[in-house]
A and B are shown apart, each in its own frame.
Chain A
Amino acid sequence: MIRMRDKPYIILGLVIFLGLLAFPFWYNVGKASAAPEPSLDTPAIRQLSQKQCVEARSYMRKSHMQLLNDWRNWVVRDGDRIYVAENGKKYEISLQNSCLQCHSNKAQFCDQCHNYVGVAPDCWTCHIEPEENK
């Protein structure tokens, strides 16, 4: 066994490096992290006979931001206010009048996942943020 003169320094550096890499492991200790549960419990949704968004649930979970982006472009640039969904149903393209009609609970719906994954969509720099229904 060869003696290591600089061993203490090397081990110190290694410990610091591995400690930094393990940041997610110790950062989350003692912090309860629960998967978000966006609430679908609003007066408008309760009245729906068939609880279905403009597109399928899995599509909305993945691509709602893409859809909103397209909607914005169609309305603002092309003046096209009718969206024909995959199943042929027609919807008015409007954040306020379509999306927020059902999802009137921004704090329990939008913010749930957005806060969880740390995104801050800038919808509300143009649109009026909905007043929470008590």
Chain B
Amino acid sequence: MGILVSLLAVIVLILIVYLGVGVANLQFVFGVIVPYVAMVTFFAGIIYRVMKWASAPVPFRIPTTGGQQKSLPWITAARFDNPYTTAGVIGRIALEVLLFRSLFRNTRVELREGPKLAYYWEKWLWLAALMFHWSFLIILLRHLRLFTDPVPYFVSLLEGIDGFLRVGLQGLFITDILIVAAATYLFIRRVIIPQVRYISLPADYFPLFLILGIVLSGVLMRYFFRVDVTAVKELAMGLVTFSPKVPEEGIGVLFYTHLFLVSVLGAYFPFSKLVHMGGIFLTPTRNLPNNSRAFRHINPWNYPVKVHSYEEYEEEFREKMKKVGLPVEKE
């Protein structure tokens, strides 16, 4: 159900472009207005989401731990799995963001006859996720060649390394193959594992289909149905220098499909689970050092509590207490 709804949504998006650009010739709308609206939505949305997270109170240390806590000096503490210093936390987050360390611990659980609980080695999810995210980043950075003039050296360098496989005259980008393979794997995994399929919602399928649509339209443009790259860059440069104009040389509908799907992704990003990009840094179970036993943490917004101690109480009622024969501490 979720699959069909999401697939249909992406197909409708593609149809919108085909009608908008292919039939109604609204190049300016899809080439300038939609990307700008998407950019503004993305930036504003990210700021909104992060500030909303920032205003959530985190009065206590609630790190999840996966190793020995820092205790006596002769017991080796797990520096990253149970961090107790800021450096340890930074290391933990960095490993998480760059290498998906906690996903690496993923295992497959099965209840076998007996009944016996069995854990299996399962690194494919980690591998596919890592391939997908790194490819996405490198592809994004490669696209800077269309948004910068002159093209910075690191972009050309990255492109050279990524495209060192040569098929025909052009570089075949390794990341293009990896991202298609990884996204396909992640989709198939979602569908064929019953438990994963059961918990999958349109919010899971839609971004997957959207990204697959973006990737495939990009791959088609680069390797199969070519577009006028110079005209594409003219459009892109117009956008980033705030002097937008649709180039005189027409660009095909395929390009506008790519651009529109990217715009939709950008606008959808801050309001979907894709904001885990920012959320990973603000996860209290990851970004707090586990030092509750070493330091006393006082809730910073505790108000001063009015107390009435027993001493004061006795001071106030001593005479009355004596009269009824209650024991008092001071005579």
Interface residues of A (CB under 8 A from B): 1-7, 10-11, 13-14, 17-18, 21, 23-25, 27-28, 31, 33, 35-36, 58, 61-63, 65-66, 68-69, 72-73, 113, 115-122
List of B residues within 8 angstroms of A113 by Cβ: 229-230
Question: B57 — which chain A residues lie within 8 A by C-beta?
Answer: 2
Contact residues in B for A33 (Cβ distance below 8 Å) = 149, 237, 241
Given contacts A2-B301, A3-B301, A24-B147, contact A62 B47 (CB under 8 A): no
Does A10 lie within 8 Å of B50, measured CB to CB?
yes
How many contacts A-B (CB < 8 Å)?
Answer: 99
List 21 A-B pairs, Cβ < 8 Å: A2-B301, A3-B301, A4-B55, A6-B58, A7-B54, A14-B50, A17-B46, A24-B240, A27-B152, A28-B148, A36-B230, A65-B169, A65-B226, A68-B169, A73-B168, A113-B229, A115-B150, A117-B229, A117-B230, A118-B156, A118-B159
Contacts of B96 in A (CB 8 A): none
User: Which B residues are CB-close (under 8 A) to A1?
Assistant: 55
Secondary structure at chain A's binding surface: helix, strand, loop or mixed? helix
Chain B nearest CB from A121 CB (Å) reads 7
Kindly identify which residue among A4, A72, A117 contacts B233, using a CB–CB cutoff of 8 Å. A117
A61 & B249 in contact (Cβ 8 Å cutoff) = yes
The CA of A14 and the CA of B226, in the complex, are separated in Å by 37
Chain A residue at minimum C-beta to C-beta distance from B50? A14
A88 and B146 CA atoms in complex are apart in Å by 36
User: Which residue of B has the minimal Cβ distance to A38?
Assistant: B230
B145 within 8 Å of A by Cβ? yes
Distance in angstroms between the alpha carbons of A62 and B220 in the assembled complex? 13
Decide: A66 and B226 in contact? CB cutoff 8 A. Answer: yes
- Is the C-beta of B281 less than 8 angstroms from some C-beta in chain A? yes
Rounded to whole Å, the gap between the CB of A75 and the closest CB of chain B is 13
Any A CB within 8 A of the CB of B272: no
A103 → chain B, closest Cβ, in Å?
16
Residue in B50, B168, B230 whose Cβ sees the most chain A Cβ within 10 Å: B230
B144 at the binding interface (Cβ < 8 Å): yes
Question: What 20 additional pairs, Cβ within 8 angstroms, besides A3-B301, A24-B144, A27-B148?
Answer: A2-B56, A4-B54, A6-B58, A10-B54, A11-B54, A13-B281, A17-B278, A23-B144, A24-B148, A28-B148, A31-B150, A33-B241, A35-B247, A63-B226, A69-B168, A113-B229, A116-B233, A117-B230, A118-B145, A118-B150
Give the distance to chain A from B201, nearest Cβ to Cβ, in Å.
27
CA–CA, A6 and B57, complex, Å: 10
Please measure, in the bound complex, the distance between the C-alpha atom of A64 and the C-alpha atom of B230, giving whole angstroms: 13
Residues of B within 8 A of A35 (CB): 230, 234, 237, 247
Q: Once bound together, how far apart are the Cα atoms of A36 and B168, in whole Å?
A: 26
Of the residues A17, A21, A28, contact of B241 by C-beta under 8 Å: A28
Are A61 and B148 closer than 8 Å at their CB atoms?
Answer: no
Give the shortest distance, in Å, between B159 (CB) and chain A (any CB): 8
Q: Which of B147, B149, B231, B240 has the most CB of A within 10 A?
A: B149
**Cα A106 to Cα B227 with chains together (Å):** 22
Q: For B47, give its contact among A18, A31, A115 (CB under 8 Å).
A: A18
Bound CA–CA A92/B109 (angstroms): 66
Partner of A118, one of B155, B226, B301: B155
What's the least CB distance linking B31 to chain A, in Å? 15
B282 CB contacts on chain A under 8 angstroms: 10
Cα-based distance from A61 to B277 in the complex (angstroms): 38
Residues of the A chain whose Cβ atoms lie less than 8 Å from the Cβ of B233: 116-117
Q: Which 6 pairs between the two chains have the least Cβ-Cβ distance?
A: A118-B151, A24-B147, A33-B149, A118-B145, A24-B240, A10-B54
Asked whether any CB of chain A lies closer than 8 Å to the CB of B170, the reply is yes
A116 engages B54 (CB within 8 Å): no
Give the complex CA separation of A24 and B150 in angstroms: 11
A58 with B249: CB separation less than 8 A: yes
Q: Is B311 an interface residue (CB 8 A)?
A: no
Which residues in A have their C-beta under 8 angstroms from that of B169?
A: 65, 68-69, 72, 121-122
Contact call B226/A3, Cβ cutoff below 8 A: no
The CA of A10 and the CA of B233, in the complex, are separated in Å by 35
A62 & B228 in contact (Cβ 8 Å cutoff): yes
A65 touches B170 (CB 8 A): yes
Closest A residue to B42 by beta carbon equals A21
B241's closest neighbor in chain A, by CB?
A28
A122 to B241, CA, bound (A): 31
